[in-house]
Amino acid sequence: MLDDMSPPPPTSRLGRYELTGRIATGGMATVYLARLEATGGFAREFALKVVHPHLAAEEGFRRRFHQEARLASRVRHPNVVATIDAGEDKGYCFLVLELIEGATLRQLVIHRERSFAAIEAAHMVAEVARGLHALHTATDERGQPLNIVHRDLSPHNVMLDQSGRAVLIDLGLAKTDTNPNMTQVGVMCGKLPYMSPEQARLESVDARSDVFALGTVLYELCTGTLPFGDTHTTATLERLQRCDAVQITEGLQRMSVPSWLVQIIVTCLRPEPE
């Protein structure tokens, strides 16, 4: 959905792509609707992710941008947004992404008056899990594991298209073993209510941290609430560190979540990686 109240794009064209509107703005980039036209009447729309100019001017953020482009190019899966192209033009760094016509999972959660049915929630999260698996098992050009960790899995970074397909988006905070400069321990990345305990402690993370975040998302879809709190506060952090399986189970049972799904969520939300 275009943000009609936003100012126009900074330029009418970046590289081969005509910018026709603004989709969304985040802390690191703005996503625009873009159109590519070619000979023979070919025309197609994409989402163009443009790094904010003041960040693109910083070498560290430029490295992050190039890493995101490189990682995204190695992942091809229907439940991960496709990266089509990347470039720099007029001082802007941009990624060209598959245009997903739909809404984020966060938007759907906000606009619903009740929690999702268990089967519906499980289906959506299963698709996200397939996308995560594609990230976690991606390899480089030599076939060596990249060991990608998303680090920012939340309903904000999952879209549902018009067919109901769940698509994992935004690899801007993803880390990989092959680039230690982008994986510093001691720097908080992501949203605290969805973090694993080790990520909140600013320790090293791996694929299991994404599994914990996936369990948090599934809990929220089934209950309409977050298991440890919805704010970036000390109280949320303390509940997250305790990660009380009994309280988690009771919260799910109060919402009549089926036992098979309770077991999946509790397993995902184990306080220590296993």
Which residues are annotated as catalytic?
152
H/E run at residue 49: strand 43-51
Query: What amino acid occupies position 35?
Result: R
Place of tokens 């802007």: 92
Positive or negative CA dihedral for 198, 202, 207, 213?
positive
Which of 203, 173, 206, 198 has the alpha carbon at shortest distance from 185?
203
The CA angle 217-231-161, to the nearest 5 degrees, is 35
Q: CB within 8 A of 144, min separation 6: which ones?
A: 178
